[in-house]
Chains A and B, each alone.
Chain A
């Protein structure tokens, strides 16, 4: 179709054919590409480059090695754990919700309502989200008000302002993100497969074990990768919930602390830390892209 259209319909003025040859068309992208380069590409490259070269321009591993100090490994370990836990918890609730609205036989209105809500809630992070959870689980929060008649008082210092607090709050935006990512995959589970399995005498469990889950597996893996990156990159939510203490639990808060003052008295450390995050995120996104290609084989 694209091949048929050009040449004849060109206006008569267009006989400066050298000007319109393909080699000049890319000029139209210059403003956009320049913007991307200045504000996205170069900042990223600067991080990677300066994590590997010292101020005199010599290649060095010293900054990357300084990542092994206790404060950094603690933040990293906690961050990775929070990311895995919330990718699993948010992924689980999100997958079941996706299943409920696609194959669970709920009224059609509910599906579109959940999808609309998911589109909004997936972007709901940061300050107001933390306010909401403090209003629910905080010292004078709704939960404690409900429990008061029973003589129970939960101490939010234990479960909200720390590792588990991050897990609880992050799970909130992981659920709708899972829905958005997985709905196409669940819709791709064809009814014929289910019917074929049932006609052959398969139980529901057998269907899911031998057909449903294997077909969904690449999509689930891809969703997991995306959720993992999403949690690992979260900064606003962590700092709103934990403030400065956040640097024990979130590696993003450590990076932010490197902004104005080099907290650890080591300017290269900030670069190495940021570069290591880019590395982890890049690797995880590669997993996501591979899994997506793998998932497409079922959607022909």
Chain B
């Protein structure tokens, strides 16, 4: 990084750059062609381009139901996740820095333990309890699993935000003015971490909208299982729905990157 650049690098410049463009091209074809094909499949018809599938699918009552269901689940998940992660990360940062690796490790575990196994364990652990015997119980179990899979993203975002502002100093300043812990948390910590929490929220939202494994195994009327179900009956509509879902998830993540960039410019 710190090394001074000399003219030598240019010696192999032309062939290097050619290979670089070539591999970029190969990767771009692999990553974009399926998306192009999908958009094309959603609008083609024997008579030309038609957007009918989009209109039909957006008007379908099941779409609104499942989409509303997943949106609601995502919002509840985000609230629970933030309520657990923000105080925990703050507390670790302030009081228990030695436990930091442990907490970090625990929040990353859901990245490697597949949701499938987590759900399997959950359903067997709570077998024949109200959690598995009623639909509300299954819904709560799903929310619990959602919160767990949101931890890696929420924690990383909040932790990064916390490193950017010196919360220790802010906390001491607030406390020396006589603020209570609750005041510190709501008036100092949360406002300073708002952008970070939003970051984590956008990723969580996108992830839960596309989530299939947990909701389908727990028999919940979520968006992704509906999409798969639709594909066996109306392929064109399902494909249009797939395009919409990609646009929504990628849009929300791009929004996040935009917000994050603004934040770094300000700082």
A: which residues have CB within 8 A of B? Answer: 2, 5, 9-11, 13, 25-26, 28-29, 31-33, 35-36, 38-40, 42-47, 50, 93-94, 96-97, 99-101, 103-106, 110, 114, 116-117, 119-121, 123-124, 126-129, 131-133, 135-136, 141-143, 171-172, 175-176, 187, 190-192, 194-195, 198, 204, 229, 233-236, 239-240, 252, 255-256, 258-259, 270-271, 274, 277-278, 281, 285
A-side contacts of B114, CB under 8 Å = 233-235, 252, 277, 281
Interface assignment of B210: CB less than 8 Å from any CB of chain A = yes
Q: Is the CB of A135 within 8 A of B207?
A: no
**How far is B16's CA from A106's CA once the two chains are assembled, in angstroms?**
10
Q: Is the CB of A236 within 8 A of B212?
A: yes
9 smallest beta-carbon distances between A and B, as pairs? A104-B20, A43-B121, A233-B114, A136-B37, A132-B34, A135-B41, A128-B242, A100-B20, A28-B91
Interface assignment of B262: CB less than 8 Å from any CB of chain A = no
Task: Mark contacts of B212-256 with chain A using CB atoms, 8 A cut-off: 1 yes-contact digit, 0 otherwise.
Answer: 110001000000100110010000001100110110011001100
Q: Is the CB of A29 within 8 A of B88?
A: yes
Q: How far is the CB of A260 from chain B (nearest CB, A)?
A: 9
**How far is B219's CA from A212's CA once the two chains are assembled, in angstroms?**
50
A-side contacts of B125, CB under 8 Å = 42-43, 46
Q: Is the CB of B24 within 8 A of A97?
A: yes
Q: Is the CB of A11 within 8 A of B176?
A: yes
Q: Is the CB of B13 within 8 A of A105?
A: yes
**Contact of B231 (CB < 8 Å), options: A131, A175, A229, A235:** A131
Q: Is the CB of B121 within 8 A of A42?
A: yes
Q: Is the CB of A142 within 8 A of B253?
A: no
Q: Is the CB of A229 within 8 A of B120?
A: no
**Contact of B103 (CB < 8 Å), options: A29, A121, A133, A143:** A29
B-side contacts of A128, CB under 8 Å = 38, 210, 227, 242-243, 245-246
**Contact of B21 (CB < 8 Å), options: A2, A100, A229:** A100
**How far is B228's CA from A184's CA once the two chains are assembled, in angstroms?**
37
Q: How far is the CB of A222 from chain B (nearest CB, A)?
A: 13
Q: How far is the CB of A255 from chain B (nearest CB, A)?
A: 6
Binds A, one of B4-12, B58-66, B187-195: B4-12
Interface assignment of B198: CB less than 8 Å from any CB of chain A = no
Q: Is the CB of A105 within 8 A of B30?
A: no
Q: How far is the CB of A98 from chain B (nearest CB, A)?
A: 9
**How far is B121's CA from A192's CA once the two chains are assembled, in angstroms?**
51
A-side contacts of B231, CB under 8 Å = 127, 131, 240
**Contact of B34 (CB < 8 Å), options: A135, A233, A281:** A135
Q: Is the CB of A135 within 8 A of B239?
A: yes
- Chain A residue with the shortest CB-CB distance to B112: A285
Q: How far is the CB of B178 from chain A (nearest CB, A)?
A: 6
B-side contacts of A120, CB under 8 Å = 249-250, 253-254
Secondary structure of the A side of the interface? helix
Q: How far is the CB of A32 from chain B (nearest CB, A)?
A: 4
Residues of chain B from 144 to 182 with CB closer than 8 A to chain A in the complex: 144-145, 147-148, 151, 168, 172, 175-176, 178
Q: Is the CB of B24 within 8 A of A40?
A: no
Q: Is the CB of B242 within 8 A of A274?
A: no
Q: How far is the CB of A78 from chain B (nearest CB, A)?
A: 17
- Chain B residue with the shortest CB-CB distance to A34: B84
**Contact of A277 (CB < 8 Å), options: B9, B117, B172, B175:** B117
**Contact of B97 (CB < 8 Å), options: A2, A229, A239:** A2
A-side contacts of B267, CB under 8 Å = none
**How far is B30's CA from A255's CA once the two chains are assembled, in angstroms?**
30
Offer 20 A-B interface pairs, CB within 8 angstroms, sorted by A. A11-B178, A25-B95, A25-B96, A28-B96, A36-B106, A93-B27, A93-B30, A100-B20, A100-B27, A101-B24, A120-B249, A127-B227, A128-B245, A129-B34, A131-B38, A135-B37, A136-B38, A142-B40, A176-B31, A274-B121
**How far is B123's CA from A39's CA once the two chains are assembled, in angstroms?**
10
**How far is B114's CA from A126's CA once the two chains are assembled, in angstroms?**
13
> Given A26-B96, A28-B88, A99-B20: A255 and B120 within 8 A (CB)?
yes
**How far is B217's CA from A127's CA once the two chains are assembled, in angstroms?**
15
Q: Which of A126, A171, A194, A285 has the most CB of B within 10 A?
A: A126
> Given A31-B84, A105-B16, A131-B38: A110 and B117 within 8 A (CB)?
no
Interface assignment of B49: CB less than 8 Å from any CB of chain A = no
**Contact of A191 (CB < 8 Å), options: B9, B27, B121, B145:** B9
Further pairs besides A136-B37, A175-B27, A190-B3: 13, Cβ < 8 Å: A36-B151, A40-B110, A43-B118, A100-B19, A101-B24, A104-B21, A127-B224, A128-B246, A131-B242, A136-B33, A195-B6, A198-B8, A229-B112
B-side contacts of A5, CB under 8 Å = 168, 172
B-side contacts of A285, CB under 8 Å = 112
**Contact of B172 (CB < 8 Å), options: A9, A93, A143, A239:** A9
Interface assignment of B35: CB less than 8 Å from any CB of chain A = yes
Q: Is the CB of A252 within 8 A of B116?
A: yes
B-side contacts of A239, CB under 8 Å = 228
Q: Is the CB of B120 within 8 A of A131?
A: no
**How far is B30's CA from A114's CA once the two chains are assembled, in angstroms?**
13
